[in-house]
């Protein structure tokens, strides 16, 4: 599946465009199917309807676990580094992981789970999270993982939207010096969620929890029951290629997050192929992705992609800056990590601690580096290249999205010549196109436009859960017959792609997608707030910061207290990741006569660039702009 030279890459890409079905059929041949497909691809972007490997039968866990057992059962599948470096680490070989997944799959069955059920997972970064995910996949239940930093309200919204019947969680999680009481957050969420019949709780932090009779059970007790029942195996559920594998919620430009749906066959082929090819993974290499399984990066490139390729994947429970800012480098040294895949925000944060924290760390095992989540600025790229890669490690700057399932535009390590700040070229099978506002293709090089994809790829989303029309509207209706990414993009003189950032109302804060409307809705819940407008501004570490303009005539007395209250409200409604960095109180927002907020003006003010605010004559009350300008933070 790997191309070994730039020539081979170009050849593979050409073939993938000219004969996409043959191209993907060959790739799919590297996986294990219970039954082969009747047809490789059926599609139309109008509905949209996209079906890959139709008629094929498989189970993704057979590809991620069972098929490695005979030859590679003793190879480490998961290495786990705990939050506290003085606690013992864990290694699970493929055989051990297989057994634990079977065991927990039987726990799920004992608790009434069956094919097609939606199961919400809200857990710390411990091996049991990967086990829970795989156990769902094994029995054909659809997992919906919710990142451990989301609030009770966000969890409740997601559980209700997907009508989940089971939650898998833990008593609590460790993040640096903090302890997050996960079970207690779940209890708050479940007040609103009558569909939940069972909560399975893993012991991790020994935080006191309240267990509700008839609803809540301990993970460990349930595993014991399975052991005494003496059924260590759990045969896989045979899935159709187009059966749902999981739902993952992501923010868009409206207030309500969307449940992006991925299916079994195409997603497996796409994540396995892109992992193997872009990282040029070789057996025996230790691969460390610093993301959380609560995001798509963790789904595709901690769990499914690496495991389907028999790789050794390292999971880290903690944070990059605890006990100190050298933690990543200690982990690299401890496990002789070969491939490190991280995010620009982490790189920038670690850069800011100076070179002392890297001094003396043995990073010589590293051969390949990766970046994901947001455009990487050149300074961070060079630091990563020089200080971490010592100039010897190709950097794969992987551009992709929750919706794309896997890498789309990315260098192939050691094959594609790289350029700082560029995701470079489309992987084989990916057909990007730049269009103008009207959807007209912008041809040639040295041009800017909105990034679309014009042909399906196996890892693409199939729908948004429970609301197919929303999927069509969001991704397939802006430009006819194209998938619209929401990103702006430059194609330079060499035909290389550089992502310039979102062109919709979605912020990218520390690599996390946050909808401005979502934050506004949360701010507006505060009792003194009439309305608000949220925009992004450049932030040294986070990439983008959250700037909120808030109309709050009812605020009494101390502005600072109201500010803190608003931040608390956002934390409670969405989660700490969406907290505004700056809150400016204003008497009104710049609106057109038809009542539309002129975000363009607010963005400029937030960026500190007020020299040219453009035409403000269409505003209902132009004077408000001067007031906002004067009070800018
Ligand atoms: C941004 C994360 C520039 C982009 C995998 C995209 C990037 C959004 C890159 C998706 C990159 C991701 N260079 N921008 N290498 N990778 N993005 O769904 O704006 O959390 O649309 O998926 O992140 O974020 P998501």
* DSSP conformational letter for 611: S
Residue 165 covered by a domain: yes
Do 443 and 535 sit in the same domain of this protein? no
Number of C-beta neighbours around residue 582 at 10 A: 15
Atom of ligand 1 nearest to the CA of 295: 20
| CATH number of the domain encompassing residue 616 | 3.30.300.30
Residue 479 covered by a domain: no
Domain end residue (candidates: 432, 448, 464): 448
Do 436 and 553 sit in the same domain of this protein? no
pLDDT of residue 556: 67
Q: What domain range is 536 assigned to?
A: 509-630
pLDDT of residue 587: 93
Residue 475 covered by a domain: no
Distance 264 CA to ligand 1 centre (A): 23
Distance 569 CA to ligand 1 centre (A): 27
Distance 393 CA to ligand 1 centre (A): 22
Indicate if the alpha-carbon torsion angle 383, 388, 392, 397 is positive or negative: negative
Do 251 and 344 sit in the same domain of this protein? yes
Determine if ligand 1 sits within 6 Å of the CB of residue 542: no
Determine if ligand 1 sits within 6 Å of the CB of residue 299: no
Distance 256 CA to ligand 1 centre (A): 19
Residue 529 covered by a domain: yes
Distance 537 CA to ligand 1 centre (A): 17
Which residue numbers in the chain have pLDDT < 70? 556
pLDDT of residue 164: 98
pLDDT of residue 201: 98
Decide: helix, strand or coil at residue 168: strand
Helix (H) or strand (E) run with residue 603 in it: helix 599-606
Determine if ligand 1 sits within 6 Å of the CB of residue 423: yes
Do 245 and 162 sit in the same domain of this protein? yes
Alpha helices (H) along 176-263: 182-190, 219-229
Determine if ligand 1 sits within 6 Å of the CB of residue 344: no
Number of C-beta neighbours around residue 610 at 10 A: 15
* DSSP conformational letter for 231: -
Do 520 and 437 sit in the same domain of this protein? no
Decide: helix, strand or coil at residue 21: helix
Domain end residue (candidates: 424, 448, 472): 448
Distance 402 CA to ligand 1 centre (A): 8
pLDDT of residue 232: 84
Nearest CA residue ID for atom 13, ligand 1: 375
Do 385 and 515 sit in the same domain of this protein? no
Do 559 and 418 sit in the same domain of this protein? no
Distance 389 CA to ligand 1 centre (A): 23
pLDDT of residue 57: 98
Residues 6+ apart with CB under 8 A from 70: none
Number of C-beta neighbours around residue 117 at 10 A: 19
pLDDT of residue 334: 98
Helix axes 94-110, 219-229, angle to 10 degrees: 100
The CA distances from residue 392 to 314, 364, 369, 387, 418, in Å, are: 22, 10, 10, 10, 13
Determine if ligand 1 sits within 6 Å of the CB of residue 300: no
Count structural domains, the chain.
2
Do 426 and 563 sit in the same domain of this protein? no
Do 521 and 374 sit in the same domain of this protein? no
Decide: helix, strand or coil at residue 55: coil
pLDDT of residue 256: 87
Mutation test residue for ligand 1: of 395, 399, 405, 536, the one with most atoms within 8 Å of CB: 399
Reduce the secondary structure of 542-564 to three states and give it as a string.
Answer: CEEEEEEEEECCCCCCCHHHHHH
Mutation test residue for ligand 1: of 371, 380, 401, the one with most atoms within 8 Å of CB: 401
Domain end residue (candidates: 448, 473, 498): 448
- β-sheet bridge partners, residue 545: 537
First to last CA, the chain: 52
Distance 401 CA to ligand 1 centre (A): 5
Q: In this structure, are residues 476 and 46 in contact, taking their beta carbons and an 8 Å threshold?
A: yes
Determine if ligand 1 sits within 6 Å of the CB of residue 293: no
Nearest CA residue ID for atom 6, ligand 1: 401
Nearest CA residue ID for atom 10, ligand 1: 401
Residues 6+ apart with CB under 8 A from 37: 28, 53, 54, 55, 56, 241, 265
Distance 500 CA to ligand 1 centre (A): 10
Atom of ligand 1 nearest to the CA of 423: 15
Distance 160 CA to ligand 1 centre (A): 27
Residues 6+ apart with CB under 8 A from 48: 471, 472, 475, 476, 483
Atom of ligand 1 nearest to the CA of 376: 13
Residue 500 covered by a domain: no
| CATH number of the domain encompassing residue 201 | 3.40.50.12780
- 262 phi and psi, to 5 degrees? -115, 150
Residue 257 covered by a domain: yes
Atom of ligand 1 nearest to the CA of 398: 15
Distance 512 CA to ligand 1 centre (A): 9
Determine if ligand 1 sits within 6 Å of the CB of residue 406: no
Atom of ligand 1 nearest to the CA of 512: 20
Q: In this structure, are residues 300 and 340 in contact, taking their beta carbons and an 8 Å threshold?
A: no
Place of tokens 């910061």: 545
Number of C-beta neighbours around residue 330 at 10 A: 16
Do 35 and 135 sit in the same domain of this protein? yes
Do 393 and 529 sit in the same domain of this protein? no
pLDDT of residue 596: 87
Mutation test residue for ligand 1: of 261, 381, 513, 518, the one with most atoms within 8 Å of CB: 513
* DSSP conformational letter for 160: H
Distance 487 CA to ligand 1 centre (A): 9
Atom of ligand 1 nearest to the CA of 513: 20
Reduce the secondary structure of 132-148 to three states and give it as a string.
Answer: HHHHHHHHCCEEEECCC
Residue 341 covered by a domain: yes
- 255 phi and psi, to 5 degrees? -70, -25
- β-sheet bridge partners, residue 143: 119, 246
Residue 235 covered by a domain: yes
Determine if ligand 1 sits within 6 Å of the CB of residue 483: no
Atom of ligand 1 nearest to the CA of 397: 15
Do 523 and 408 sit in the same domain of this protein? no
Helix (H) or strand (E) run with residue 602 in it: helix 599-606
Q: In this structure, are residues 518 and 574 in contact, taking their beta carbons and an 8 Å threshold?
A: yes
């Amino acid at each position: 599946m790997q191309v070994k030279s730039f020539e081979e890459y170009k050849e593979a890409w050409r073939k993938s465009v000219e004969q996409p079905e043959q191209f993907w059929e060959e790739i799919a041949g590297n996986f294990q199917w219970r039954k082969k497909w009747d047809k490789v691809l059926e599609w139309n972007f109008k509905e949209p309807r996209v079906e890959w490997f139709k008629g094929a039968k498989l189970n993704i866990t057979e590809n991620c676990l069972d098929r490695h057992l005979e030859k590679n059962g003793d190879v480490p599948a998961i290495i786990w580094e705990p939050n506290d470096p003085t606690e013992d680490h864990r290694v699970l070989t493929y055989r051990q992981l297989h057994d634990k997944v079977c065991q927990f799959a039987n726990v799920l069955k004992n608790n009434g789970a069956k094919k097609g059920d939606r199961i919400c997972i809200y857990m710390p970064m411990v091996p049991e999270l990967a086990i829970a995910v795989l156990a769902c996949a094994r029995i054909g239940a659809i997992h919906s993982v919710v990142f451990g930093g989301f609030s009770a309200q966000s969890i409740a919204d997601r559980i209700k939207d997907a009508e989940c019947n089971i939650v898998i969680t833990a008593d609590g999680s460790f993040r640096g010096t903090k302890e997050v009481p996960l079970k207690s957050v779940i209890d708050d969420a479940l007040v609103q969620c009558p569909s939940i019949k069972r909560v399975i709780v893993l012991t991790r932090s020994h935080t006191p929890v309240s267990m509700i009779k008839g609803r809540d059970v301990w993970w460990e007790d349930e595993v014991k029951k399975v052991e005494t029942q003496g059924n260590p195996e759990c045969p896989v559920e045979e899935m159709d290629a187009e059966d749902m594998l999981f739902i993952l919620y992501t923010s868009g430009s409206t207030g309500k997050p969307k449940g992006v749906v991925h299916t079994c066959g195409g997603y497996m082929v796409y994540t396995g192929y892109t992992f193997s090819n872009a990282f040029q993974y070789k057996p025996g290499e230790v691969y460390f992705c610093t993301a959380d399984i609560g995001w798509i990066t963790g789904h595709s490139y901690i769990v499914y992609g690496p495991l389907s390729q028999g790789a050794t994947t390292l999971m880290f429970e903690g944070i990059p800056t605890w006990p100190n800012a050298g933690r990543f480098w200690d982990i690299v040294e401890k496990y002789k990590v070969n491939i490190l895949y991280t995010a620009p925000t982490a790189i920038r944060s670690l850069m800011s601690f100076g070179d002392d924290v890297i001094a003396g760390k043995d990073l010589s095992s590293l051969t390949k580096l990766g970046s994901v989540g947001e455009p990487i600025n050149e300074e961070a790229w060079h630091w990563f290249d020089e200080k971490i890669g010592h100039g010897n490690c190709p950097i794969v700057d992987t551009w992709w999205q929750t919706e794309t399932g896997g890498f789309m535009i990315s260098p192939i390590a050691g094959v594609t010549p790289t350029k700082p700040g560029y995701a470079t070229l489309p992987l084989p099978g990916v057909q990007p196109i730049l269009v103008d506002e009207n959807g007209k293709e912008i041809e040639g090089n040295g041009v800017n436009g909105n990034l679309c994809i014009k042909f399906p790829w196996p890892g693409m989303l199939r729908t948004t859960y429970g609301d197919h029309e929303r999927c069509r509207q969001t991704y397939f209706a802006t430009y006819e017959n194209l998938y619209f990414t929401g990103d702006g993009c430059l194609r330079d003189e060499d035909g290389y792609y550089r992502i310039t950032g979102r062109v919709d109302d979605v912020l990218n804060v520390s690599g996390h997608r946050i909808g401005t409307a979502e934050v506004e809705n949360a701010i507006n819940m505060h009792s003194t707030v009439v309305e608000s407008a949220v925009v992004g501004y450049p932030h040294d570490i986070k990439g983008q910061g959250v700037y909120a303009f808030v109309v709050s005539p009812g605020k009494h007395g101390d502005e600072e207290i109201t500010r803190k209250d608003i931040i608390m409200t956002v934390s409670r409604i969405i989660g700490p990741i969406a907290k505004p960095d700056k809150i400016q109180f204003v008497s009104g927002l710049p609106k057109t006569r038809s009542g539309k907020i002129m975000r363009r003006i607010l963005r400029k003010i937030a960026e500190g660039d007020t020299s040219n605010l453009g035409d403000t004559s269409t505003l209902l009350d132009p004077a408000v702009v001067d007031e906002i300008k004067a009070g800018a933070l």
